[in-house]
Amino acid sequence: MTTVPRPDVVLAVDGGGSKTDVVLLGIDGEVLAWARGTGSSPQLEGLAASVGVIDDLVSRALGGRDPRTLAQVGLYLSGLDLAEEITVFRAALADLPWAVDVVVENDLHALLRAGTDAPDAVAVICGTGMNAIGVRADGEQVRFPALGPLSGDWGGGGELGDAVVWHAARAEDGRGPATVLVDLLLDAVESPSVAALIEDVHLGRRHGEGFAPLAPLVFAAAHAGDAVAREVVRRQAEEVVSYVRACIDRLGLRDAEVPVLFGGGVARGRDPLLLDDIHVGLAQHAPNARLSVVDAPPVLGAALLVLAAAGADAAALERATVLLSTDVRFAQRMPLGAS
């Protein structure tokens, strides 16, 4: 008679545009393994590649463990912004042995839970791209398509990097004002001129994942007093505020004290100019909002959601929170991918 293994572990996945984290935890909140890999956003990588990245990391995290021991699996991915995209992604997992009882959602849910368990809250993520979610105690949500310029989006690391090249190109050829972004850009990409860089990209002689890595140049130039860069930072702040305002207004929460979680690589940079501009905008448009930057890895939020779905108690949630509170703390505790 074959003995069926007792489900006693859960699997949490957070996948973004630049990296993917897969964490295996016991029902008691103990972290058993953490595997990290490249980005797995289906919007950027494509469906098959995204599933492939996640499947490989899950295999590493399981480390030979029987998938039937999984009590719950939760995948929270950037790029799953529409209900149809979630349905298609879940179907793509159907034949994988570990994807039996799986929740598939946008990674904003993980960011939100990593920062708060408040019933009324807003989360804005600014990583490679930008998106937001608002939730209300009765279960009502505000979501956005997050399809780039097609749906009115601007402000992620990719757009900030593009802005560096755009303004540098116009400064170099005389269409725009002078900016130190020209020299910062050329030093960063090791190109003799902006024109040469543009030509190399256009003709396929320079390959890469876009200009998102150039986003920090905007903040460096702004702090050096560059007027062009300073205006980009202001626009970035306005985008954050516009998401918060839209969520709060659509949920009818203007009179409530609403926590606003700001996460992603750009947010964690804690640029003081950006944060000051955001605070000014919130004071005008959402005066009861309370902004905080989420430093904890979003996979913490994914883990808390999965543990709760599996029926874990408060002590287990607290244990997971302590263990997953920072990347550095966990890296000192256990090598990535250990089981």
Alpha-carbon gap, residue 125 to 13, rounded angstroms:
17
Q: Is 268 left (phi over 0), alpha (psi -120 to 50) or beta?
A: alpha
Residue 9, strand partner residues: 26, 70
Q: What is the pLDDT of residue 224?
A: 96
Q: pLDDT tens, 29-79? A: 999 999 999 999 998 899 999 999 999 999 999 999 999 999 999 999 998
Closest CA to 241 of 260, 227, 258: 260
Of 73, 63, 59, the residue nearest 9 (C-alpha): 73
Cα–Cα distance, 161 to 211 (Å, whole number): 5
**Please, what is the Cα angle at 40 between 166 and 32, to 5 degrees?**
135
| Ranges of the chain with pLDDT below 70 | 1-4, 208-209, 326-339
Cα 24 to Cα 33: distance, rounded to the nearest angstrom:
5
Burial of 332 (0-12, 13-18, 19+ CB in 10 A): exposed
> Considering the entire predicted model, what is its pTM?
0.87
Q: Look at residue 5 in the predicted model and tell me its pLDDT.
A: 74
